[in-house]
Chain A
Amino acid sequence: DIQMTQSPSSLSASVGDRVTITCRASESISSYLNWYQQNPGKAPKLLIFAASSLQSGVPSRFSGSGSGTDFTLTISSLQPEDFATYYCQESYSMPWTFGQGTKVEIK
């Protein structure tokens, strides 16, 4: 199985801050990397697929980059509705695996 490691596990930030979350794969996964946002008590929601493609309807303040083993999710200007937990997920090979999550909290 491919292991996905996110950092940090949690972070505190203020509205308007630029936030970056990192995801590292245990082996090269090219650009087969997705990002999801999960609010408490809700199902995950797709933000980014193929490492950098923005899902339809997702605000442009979200962006993704990277390839191979190292990836980042960036929120350019954090909004109140962005305080949530974010997960990366590899789609290179089954079993599909997720990172452990990064919780973005209000500072």
Chain B
Amino acid sequence: QLQLQESGPGLVKPSETLSLTCTVSGGSISSSNYYWDWIRQPPGKGLEWIATIFYSGTTYYNPSLKSRVIISVDTSKNQFSLKLTSVTAADTAVYYCAERRYSILPGGEGAYWYFGLWGRGTLVTVSS
């Protein structure tokens, strides 16, 4: 059964780089059935999608964060990673990694994508 686990520092100083890794277990990150995503949630607030990557290295970013974000994949370790540069207090959040998959439905219009499985999340606080 597929599982995802985030790891990385829980405290980052302002202006520094936030680095997180998501380890995929119970399945291969090289599956053509999934994309791999990062999503964050500031304390007490809603969800914000950050970026996605396919095992081949194809990436898409949220334009609101694109200038500061890099998402990468390491298929040999079954991991994907997030780097967010020049962080401020506004980047304090629980960061989730998630697997995004699709279904094709009879009579449907195409592939319906959704976040099928999430990691437990890791709180990253930006503070000096």
> Interface readout for A64-107 with B: 1 if CB under 8 Å, 0 if not?
00000000000000000000000101010011111111000000
The answer to whether A46 touches B49, judged by C-beta atoms less than 8 angstroms apart, is no
The answer to whether B109 touches A49, judged by C-beta atoms less than 8 angstroms apart, is no
| In the assembled complex, B16 has its CB within 8 A of some CB on chain A | no
Q: In the complex, what residues of B have CB within 8 A of residue A43's CB?
A: 96, 118-121
Complex Cα distance, B62 from A44, in Å, reads: 20
> Interface readout for B99-128 with A: 1 if CB under 8 Å, 0 if not?
000010100110011111011110000000
Main SS of the interface on chain B? Answer: strand
| In the assembled complex, B76 has its CB within 8 A of some CB on chain A | no
Question: A residues near B, CB below 8 A?
Answer: 1, 30-32, 34, 36, 42-46, 49-50, 53, 55, 87, 89, 91, 94-101
Q: In the complex, what residues of B have CB within 8 A of residue A87's CB?
A: 46-47
Given A43-B119, A46-B115: 5 more A-B contacts, CB < 8 Å? A50-B103, A53-B105, A98-B47, A98-B48, A101-B47
Task: Give the interface centre of B96, B115, B119 by most chain A CB atoms within 10 Å.
Answer: B115
Complex Cα distance, B46 from A99, in Å, reads: 8
| In the assembled complex, B63 has its CB within 8 A of some CB on chain A | yes
Known: A43-B119, A101-B46. A95 touches B112 (CB 8 A): no
Q: In the complex, what residues of B have CB within 8 A of residue A45's CB?
A: 118
Beta-carbon nearest neighbor of B63 in chain A: A95
Q: In the complex, what residues of B have CB within 8 A of residue A46's CB?
A: 114-116
